[in-house]
Chains A and B, each alone.
Chain A
Amino acid sequence: MRTSVMSQMQRSFSIDLPSLIPLQLPSRRETHLWYILPDEVKSTSLLKRYSQFLSPIEKDRVDQMRGDELKKNALLARTLVRTTIARYQTNKAVDPGSLMFKKNMYGKPEVDWQNCKNYNVQPLHFNISHTDSLIACGVTVHAPVGIDVEDKERKIKHDVLAFAKRFYTTDEVNFLATILDPEAQRKEFIKLWTLKEAYVKALGKGFSAAPFNTFTIQSKPGTEGGYSLCKTSEVTANPLEKTEECNGRWKFDLLELAGSHYAAVCTEDDQADEGAPMRVIVRKTIPFVEDQLISERIFL
């Protein structure tokens, strides 16, 4: 059936939704990670209702997606962002459809707070990522956040080491090369990908600001899911020397969601104190229906 999904949705708004349950803002050293599993959202009337929150441009983008599944996921992604941000506006109930978005000068999406009238806004940072079967949104208050999710079972069509040699740093290639089992190697490759993506997205300056082969992310010994960032500088006089600047400013957490996905969270620690822990609170949601607290983690 070729009829546009969006025009079908617009024809009937048969259900009434309860009010959105407000949320307490993340604290200074916290990231809230929300996710939706599209397979769990089956009600067509609920999806129709979600579509009402989208701006005309967002509706167009959903319509441009090929096939019902991609359209549904695009709709859910915008719904997740809008409803989540609306819930953190604790002073007054906010219509998720009233939020406006813009892009920073490098193209990173942000809330356009200036155009929001009538309520005290809490300046949040957010970032979304989605795969076919999971959509996630990270929210922070004091520092920008970047997140990236990938299906653990995602197959790479190219040879993993060839891919890494082309795009990652030498240290990362060497690390991957030590993993002999191809499956384990592929998994570590994916984890690195999500971590590197999360960093670039947290920076918010586009890929040119941080090409993948200019920074190494490696796991922190003695931690579970802890990683640190080291920047490789240009090769100087001695080609065998490579200066690395490892700073504790950027915090990473790598976790598994729904048993099926890797999720990397990256945020900036303005206190630059490597010892102070940061937290990630993970919740699964179906907007207007239910939230489920999944985990609270500390990452270093």
Chain B
Amino acid sequence: MRGMTDDEHLLINGDGTGDDRRINLLVKSFIKWCNSGSQYQHMLSTLSLCEFSMVYDMNLQEMENYEKIYKEIECSIAGAHEKIAECKKQILQAKRIWKNRQEYDAVAKVIQHHPDRHETLKELEALGKELAHLSHIKESVEAKLELRQKQFHVLLSTIHELQQTLENDEKLSEVEDTQETIMEADGK
């Protein structure tokens, strides 16, 4: 009988082993007690045996369960720690990006205050053209002025020369007149 396993015992004899067998014994002793009334102590001890063995098994199973849950929780804590570290890195990265964006905005604001480069270039070009035009006019006016100056100079010098010639002529004619009067006075 001892060489058999629990399953074989169940199959061949129709009796369960362990708890099941104890329960069967309990039922039999209960019936005996009902009939004879003498098996009371025996029945009580069998009953407590059943209880304790069941409770013992139950405790063992609960322990196993708790161990399993404990390990799971440890794993998830470790996982959570890793996620936190990862998130912290992401926050730092995000803060860097935010800072860069704000720096960009700050510089952009200042740039907006200044006028557009194209417009300024166009204005510069227009001003340059005006400047060239005006200096051209200035040049031509100056040339004209010089020409007039030269012409006046020529005119004035010609007048001077004519004056001189006329004065010379007058002087000559005066001299001739005085010579004539002297000759007339001599001739008488």
Q: Do the two chains bind? A: no
Please report A residues at the B interface, Cβ cutoff 8 Å: none
Please report B residues at the A interface, Cβ cutoff 8 Å: none
